[in-house]
Amino acid sequence: MPTPLVITQGDPAGIGPELVLKLLANPPCPNLKVIGCGNHLSQIASQLQIPFADDHLIDLPLPESIKIGEISPVAGEHSFACLEAAVEGAMDGAFSGVITNPIHKEAWYRAGKFYPGHTEYLVEKTSSPDHAMMLTSDEITCSLVTTHVSLASVPELLEEKRMLEVITLTHKAISTIKGHPARLAMPGLNPHAGEGGLFGSEEIEFIIPVLEKARSRGIDIIGPLSPDTAFLPAIRQNIDAYICLYHDQGLIPLKTLAFDLGVNVTLGLPIVRTSVDHGTAFDIAGKGIASVSSLIEATKLAQKLTAS
């Protein structure tokens, strides 16, 4: 039997359990496993009238009950434990890839798990210094040079090594997914990509030299593009992926164009990891109205990446 993919339940107080149940009711691929709390999933299934068979389940019980839609250290500890079990299993070869549901960062912090998110934990756990966060959909794909940092700190983090790392990892991944050499683009940092240095010198000083070095390595990448027009349809139709310099530069266009359909992929790991591109949505947790579309797409992409 093929090695299964594994899905984490995510924060049990959020929409993750509902998404797991909806996915398993109509799985997009065979041979899936889920790490979560069986009793909690059964309660949610009964409440929302979603069929649930525990043959997919790797049971990791909650130590005590939690309240849906509320931040708690118990929920944070449990979502972290589910992730840790999934990643360790993948590293040991028990799972072919990991698909993660959303965690709540404050719940992690309350539980003493001081990681800004999944990606930072995965990079440390797998000892993967070269990595990138890529958000992908049919409409648009963006990789991020910087992620969960303040906007004020971005310029000092735009080092040549880091930018080339993200460009190279994205080029390799997209070329594999698309089946042809990837066509990349990088928006500038400043308004109008600096307008020749009038609105900032970062483009001239180090962004343009990095792009020239990437091209010398055979990578097809254009830029720096003026950020206010970089994502227009006429440009997007000729671009396979954008290399965005900071979090919201990539996430705003992606969520505008493909909300509920985006998939988060961590590039550069020794294991395949995909994730939904949304949060715990505590405001709608337990109501049965959460869209499972992103989790379906994340599962399909994980299957494709593990088969390549």
Q: Are strands 57-59 and 32-36 parallel, antiparallel or unpaired?
A: parallel
Position 1 pLDDT exceeds 80:
no
pLDDT in tens, 196-217: 999 999 999 999 999 999 999 9
Spatial contact of 242 and 187, defined as CB atoms under 8 Å apart: yes
pLDDT averaged over every residue in the chain: 95
Residues 73 and 157 in one domain: no
pLDDT, tens digit, for every residue of 288-308?
999 999 999 999 999 999 987
Task: State percent of the chain over pLDDT 70.
Answer: 100
Find the domain containing 286 and state its range: 1-128+269-308
Count of domains observed in the chain:
2
For 262, counting Cβ atoms within 10 Å of its Cβ (0-12 exposed, 13-18 middle, 19+ buried), the class is buried
H/E stretch holding 288: none
- Tens of pLDDT, residue by residue over 109-143, are 999 999 989 989 999 999 998 999 999 999 999 99
* Over residues 165-172, mean pLDDT: 98
Contact 98, 299 (CB under 8 A): no
Residues 64, 185, single domain; the answer is: no
CA dist 294 to 101, 111, 280, Å? Answer: 10, 27, 13
Q: Which of 7-11, 176-180, 270-274 has the lowest mean pLDDT?
A: 176-180
Place of tokens 């990079």: 123
Beta-sheet pairing, 263-267 with 132-136? antiparallel
* 113/64 same-domain check: yes
pLDDT (tens digit per residue) in 259-297:
888 999 999 999 999 999 899 999 999 999 999 999 999
Residues 107 and 216 placed together within one structural domain of the fold: no
Instruction: Give percent of the chain above pLDDT 90.
Output: 92
Give the pLDDT confidence score for residue 79 in this predicted structure. 98
Same domain, 149 and 120: no
pLDDT given at position 2:
86
Evaluated on CA atoms 3, 290, 121, 176, the torsion sign reads positive
DSSP state of 181: -
Torsion of CA 242, 243, 249, 251, to 10 degrees: 70
Residue 29 binned pLDDT confidence (cut-offs 50, 70, 90): confident
Residue 53's pLDDT band (boundaries 50, 70, 90)?
confident
Q: pLDDT band at residue 255, thresholds of 50, 70 and 90? A: very high
Domain shared by 7 and 45, yes or no: yes
| Cβ atoms < 10 Å from Cβ of 68 | 19
6 and 66 co-located in one domain: yes
CA 244/CA 211 separation, integer angstroms: 13
Residue 146 and residue 261 in one domain: yes
Q: What is the pTM of this model?
A: 0.90
- Is the same domain home to 274 and 195? no
Instruction: Give the C-alpha distances (Å, rounded to integers) separating 33 from 24, 28, 55, 211, 213.
Output: 9, 13, 8, 42, 43
Based on the fold, state whether residues 63 and 110 are members of the same structural domain: yes
Q: Is the pLDDT of residue 31 over 90?
A: no
CA 299 – CA 281 distance, rounded (Å): 20
**Mean pLDDT, residues 144-154:** 95
CA distance 300 to 137: 12
Q: What CATH number is attached to the domain comprising 174?
A: 3.40.718.10
| Predicted local distance difference test score (pLDDT) of residue 140 | 97
DSSP 3: P
User: Do residues 262 and 291 both lie within one domain?
Assistant: no
| Residues 6 or more apart in contact with residue 38 via CB below 8 angstroms | 54, 57, 59, 61
Q: Is the pLDDT of residue 27 over 90?
A: no
Specify whether 280 is located in the same domain as 262: no
